[in-house]
């Protein structure tokens, strides 16, 4: 069985009923009470400022507009907002049935990354096959450990924006 990263579970009460219709999901998202939408958005990006801005800009006419607004809100985050979002991100982890060596390698690489940059490693794996996730994460950590702090800050912010986009698609398509 290939080693795969385990996706964190959504907290109780979060949307999670699979839905194939993005337009219908977006309509439900647009119609949700502000606090409900904001809480769901915090699951996409842990910055309260980002989630508040996104919830306040509803209704979105289509998924492309939602994703464009997400990018714009992400680019406007201050360093403290990015730090807040990073604090909400779980450390990369593996399925429990992954080989012990893979767990140890990932734990050691993430510890080195956290020691150098002060937060968990984040990476969006949307363009990779699940069977390659571990290799991509380990390669990404090794590469990004060579970055200067300012360069890594920019890469991390870009990865947070990519994660938020991916999670928004999942939220609207499957969660509402």
For residue 98, the model assigns a pLDDT of: 79
- On whether both 59 and 102 belong to a single domain, the answer is no
Residue pair 136/125 in contact by the 8 Å Cβ criterion: yes
DSSP assigned state of 119: S
68: left (phi over 0), alpha (psi -120 to 50) or beta: alpha
Alpha-carbon Rg for the chain in angstroms: 17
Residue 37 domain boundaries: 22-84+165-175
Residue 17 falls inside a structural domain:
no
- On whether both 67 and 98 belong to a single domain, the answer is no
> pTM value?
0.84
- On whether both 64 and 97 belong to a single domain, the answer is no
Residue 16 falls inside a structural domain:
no
For residue 16, the model assigns a pLDDT of: 40
Q: Enumerate the H helices of the chain as residue ranges.
A: 22-31, 34-44, 48-56, 63-75, 79-88, 100-117, 133-144, 149-170
For residue 3, the model assigns a pLDDT of: 38
Listed residue (88, 92, 93, 44) closest to 70, CA to CA: 44
For residue 12, the model assigns a pLDDT of: 33
Residues of the chain with pLDDT under 70: 1-20
Q: How many domains does the chain have?
A: 2
């Amino acid at each position: 069985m290939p080693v795969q990263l385990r996706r964190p579970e959504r907290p109780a009460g979060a949307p999670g009923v699979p839905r194939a219709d993005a337009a219908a999901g977006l309509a439900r998202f647009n119609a949700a009470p502000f606090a409900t939408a904001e809480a769901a958005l915090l699951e996409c990006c842990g910055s309260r400022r980002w989630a508040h801005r996104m919830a306040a800009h509803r209704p979105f006419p289509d998924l492309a507009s939602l994703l464009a607004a997400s990018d714009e809100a992400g680019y406007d985050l201050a360093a403290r907002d990015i730090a807040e979002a990073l604090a909400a991100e779980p450390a990369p982890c593996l399925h429990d049935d992954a080989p012990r060596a893979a767990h140890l390698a990932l734990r050691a690489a993430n510890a080195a990354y956290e020691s150098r940059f002060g937060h968990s490693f984040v990476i969006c794996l949307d363009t990779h096959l699940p069977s390659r996730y571990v290799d991509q994460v380990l390669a990404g950590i090794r590469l990004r450990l060579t970055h200067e702090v300012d360069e890594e800050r920019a890469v991390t912010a870009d990865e947070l924006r990519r994660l938020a986009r991916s999670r928004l698609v999942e939220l609207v398509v499957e969660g509402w």
